[in-house]
Amino acid sequence: QQVPTEDRYVLRRSELLDRVDVLLGGRVAEELVFGDVSTGAQNDLERATAMARHMVMQYGMSERLGLATFDDGAHPGLQDPRLPGDGRCSEHTARLIDDEVRTLLADAHARVAATLDERRDALERIAQRLLQCEVLEREALQALIDGRSEPEEPEVGHAEADTRGGTGGAEHASAVERDFVACGPPRQRDR
């Protein structure tokens, strides 16, 4: 039995690069679709940068810097007082690290842009659907990627809630049912 990806402690370089690609997907999609970027992908960009920096500084996954780790000074209490220096790397090495992180991110950006450009039709379908729903379940997303019609979601529990009176009546109920079938059940957040 395979351990779920999010529970694994050991990841290959290719898996980390895949994760960086995924994190940059929204930002690159904005560039392709709108010709501009927004602040919406800020957290993803921050996480992609941190992951690339870890690859270079902690995991020895940089071809230019080789099999070495570099202290970023984030854990001063762990510094061995018997060793000379402050444990941080030289300015030259710091520049190399920054260059390597930028290269990893630029390469990821290029891979993602090529993939999204190649699959532009699927990107457009997904973007249009997200404008309607904001959230897509995995099966619906895969159907849009594959160019198939989305799976119909069961209408469990909504008939009772929609007939309780209040404003809107039957019109409101049918609109809610349409949204439910179109977008799937509301996701429970903060479980």
Is a pLDDT exceeding 70 seen at residue 34?
Answer: yes
Q: What is the CATH number of the domain that holds 55?
A: 1.20.58.760
Say what the pLDDT of residue 1 is: 59
Residue 92 resides in a domain: yes
Residue 158 resides in a domain: no
- Give residue 146's pLDDT band: very low, low, confident or very high (50, 70, 90): very high
Average confidence score pLDDT of the chain: 78
Is a pLDDT exceeding 50 seen at residue 158?
Answer: no
Say what the pLDDT of residue 59 is: 94
Residue 150 resides in a domain: no
Residue 13 resides in a domain: yes
Q: Which segment of 2-6, 10-14, 128-132, 180-184 scores lowest on mean pLDDT?
A: 180-184
- Give residue 173's pLDDT band: very low, low, confident or very high (50, 70, 90): very low
Is a pLDDT exceeding 80 seen at residue 35?
Answer: yes
Residue 130 resides in a domain: no
Domain tally, the chain: 1
- Give residue 7's pLDDT band: very low, low, confident or very high (50, 70, 90): low
Give tens-digit pLDDT for 73-113.
554 544 444 444 455 688 899 999 999 999 999 999 999 99
Percent of the chain with pLDDT over 70: 65
Amino acid residing at 189: R
Higher pLDDT, 185 or 108: 108
Give tens-digit pLDDT for 40-76.
999 999 999 999 999 999 999 998 998 888 876 554 5
Residue-range definition of the domain harbouring residue 35? 1-118
Question: Which contacts (CB < 8 Å, 24+ apart) does range 99-104 have?
Answer: 99/64, 100/56, 100/62, 100/64, 100/65, 101/49, 101/52, 101/53, 101/56, 104/17, 104/20, 104/52, 104/55, 104/56
Residue 124 resides in a domain: no
